[in-house]
């Protein structure tokens, strides 16, 4: 059998991804990637048309991993709160990857583009918001969209300021946004009551818990 290639497309992408994670996408230059792997730049341009293609692969990989991490929120209740908390955790734990995905230069330029990034996992979360707050699915989609804008903006602020928020603070912040928007929707359609508002506040002041799945 022929010996395995020492440098492969996958290994080069791995090196570029790790460099991005540690130093940011701007650090992904041919010489830096080659240096981290102990090779010349030749294999990079053997497997990739250029650095733009390699950077595109890094960005696609980071996006997939971010979406997969957020998808894990569906195993919790309320999923919408875990979704927001995971969003901000990811930003805190992977600041350079987050800046690449969601920063002003590389990130989505509109709410529609933001929603498109996560479209595949938004349907069950939208349904949960509608059921939890007793609002229409259209209003639930609006609540979720505004929550995403809020979590993205807050994540960016925390990264720039260097500040951190506890898990409890994250949970409370997301609850306040979602409950406020849900109450607004119910006020506009005339279905809000003080008792109902109190129940929503009480019900959504807790952190999300992992769902228990039946083994039978």
Tens digits of residue pLDDT in 169-216: 888 888 888 888 888 888 787 776 656 656 665 666 556 777 765 444
8 A C-beta contact, residue 141 and residue 111: no
What digits encode the pLDDT tens for the residues 20-50? Answer: 999 999 999 999 999 999 999 999 999 999 9
Scanning the structure block, which residue is given the tokens 């440098």?
7
What local confidence, expressed as pLDDT, does residue 32 receive? 97
Length of the chain: 216
- Measured CA to CA, the distance from residue 165 to residue 91 in angstroms comes to 12
Beta bridge partners of 210: 76
Q: Which tokens is 24 given?
A: 């940011």
pLDDT band at 59 (very low <50, low <70, confident <90, very high): very high
Per the model's pLDDT, the better-predicted residue between 109 and 78 turns out to be 78
The correct answer on CATH 3.30.930.10 for the domain covering 8-48 is no
Beta bridge partners of 77: 209
Our separate counts of H helices and E strands in the chain read: 11, 2
- Given a cut of 50, whether residue 145 has pLDDT beyond it is yes
Q: Which tokens is 177 given?
A: 């946004």
Angle at 68 between CA 152 and CA 14, to 5 degrees: 100
């Amino acid at each position: 059998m022929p010996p395995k290639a020492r440098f492969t497309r996958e290994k080069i992408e791995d090196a570029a991804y790790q460099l991005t994670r540690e130093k940011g996408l701007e650090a992904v230059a041919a010489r830096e990637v080659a240096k981290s792997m102990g090779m010349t730049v030749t294999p990079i341009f053997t497997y990739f048309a250029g650095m733009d293609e390699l950077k595109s692969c890094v960005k696609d990989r980071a996006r997939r991993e971010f979406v997969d991490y957020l998808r894990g929120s569906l195993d919790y209740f309320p999923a919408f709160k875990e979704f927001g908390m995971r969003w901000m955790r990811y930003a805190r734990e992977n600041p350079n990857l987050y800046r690449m995905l969601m920063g002003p230069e590389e990130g989505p330029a509109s709410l529609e583009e933001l929603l498109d990034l996560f479209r595949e996992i938004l349907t069950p979360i939208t349904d949960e918001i509608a059921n939890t707050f007793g609002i229409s699915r259209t209003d639930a989609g609006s609540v979720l969209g505004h929550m995403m804008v809020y979590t993205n903006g807050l994540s960016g602020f925390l990264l720039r300021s260097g500040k951190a928020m506890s898990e409890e603070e994250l949970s409370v912040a997301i609850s306040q946004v979602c409950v406020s928007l849900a109450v607004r929707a119910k006020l506009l359609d005339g279905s809000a009551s003080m008792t109902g508002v109190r129940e929503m506040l009480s019900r959504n002041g807790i952190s999300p818990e992992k769902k228990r799945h039946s083994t039978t």
